[in-house]
């Protein structure tokens, strides 16, 4: 049911007059919303016990949050650039 509603939302968004970059951003946000609860349920306790607490103890809370933010930003920029380049490449090949 959860994935079906996700699919219907994507289908509804794809029928709007948004350009492909905006549609990609919406799909990424929806995928994040779908994946976070599953990740917290499946990995949360072990991740807090062994991953996050050890990382914060090693580098400190401020650097940990800052690095987490920058990794997310660079990942997002990489995906956006790749998506735009793949659209341009596809358009020139047709």
The model scores a pTM over 0.75: no
Residues 42-81: tens digit of each pLDDT: 887 787 778 888 888 899 999 999 998 999 889 888 888 8
* 3-state DSSP assignment of residue 16: coil
What is the b/e burial string over 5-20, where b = at least 16 CB atoms within 10 angstroms of the residue's CB? Answer: eeeeeeeeeeeeeeee
The domain locations on the chain are 1-92
Query: Taking 90 as the threshold, does the pLDDT of residue 31 lie above it?
Result: no
């Amino acid at each position: 049911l959860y994935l079906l509603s996700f699919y219907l939302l994507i289908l509804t968004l794809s029928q709007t007059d948004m350009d492909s970059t905006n549609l990609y951003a919406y799909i990424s946000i929806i995928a994040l919303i779908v994946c976070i609860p599953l990740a917290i349920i499946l990995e949360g306790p072990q991740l807090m016990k062994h991953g996050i607490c050890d990382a914060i103890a090693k580098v400190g809370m401020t650097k940990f949050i800052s690095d987490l933010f920058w990794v997310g930003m660079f990942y997002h920029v990489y995906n956006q650039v790749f998506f735009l380049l793949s659209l341009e490449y596809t358009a020139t090949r047709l």
